[in-house]
Structure 1
Amino acid sequence: MTGETDLRTLLGEMRPELNPGRYAFTMAEGGVPSGVSPVVTVAEPEGLTLVVSQADADAAGMGYDYVAGWITLRVHSALDAVGLTAAVARALADEGLSCNVVAGFHHDHLFVRYDQAERAMETLRRLADSAR
Structure 2
Amino acid sequence: MNAERDLIRLLAGMRPELAPGRYVFTTVAGPAAPAGVAPVVTVTESEGLTLVVRQEEADAASLPYDYVAGWITLRIHSALDAVGLTAAVAGALADAGMSCNVVAGFHHDHLFVEHARAEEALAVLERLAEGGDLPGRP
Normalising by structure 2, what TM-score? 0.93
2:20 is aligned to 20
Q: Which structure has the highest strand share of the two?
A: 1
State the distance in 2 between where 1:32 and 1:50 align: 7
2:64: which partner in 1?
63
Q: How far apart, CA to CA, are the structure 2 residues paired with 1:58 and 1:2?
A: 40
The count of corresponding residues between Structure 1 and Structure 2 is 131
Q: Are 1:7 and 2:7 counterparts?
A: yes
Query: Equivalents in 2 of 1:2, 1:56: separation in Å?
Result: 36
Equivalences for residues 1-132 of structure 1 within 5 A: 1-30=1-30, 31-130=32-131
**Contiguous gaps of at least 5 residues in structure 1:** none
Q: Which runs of 5+ in 2 are unaligned?
A: none
**1:103, 1:10 → 2: CA distance?**
14
When you count helix as a share of all residues, which structure comes out higher?
Answer: 1
SS of aligned partner of 1:20: coil
CA distance in 2, matches of 1:55, 1:2: 37
Q: CA RMSD in A?
A: 0.7
Q: Cα distance, 1:2 vs. partner? A: 2.8
Give aligned-pair identity as a percent. 69
Runs of 4+ in 1 over 2 A off after TM superposition: none
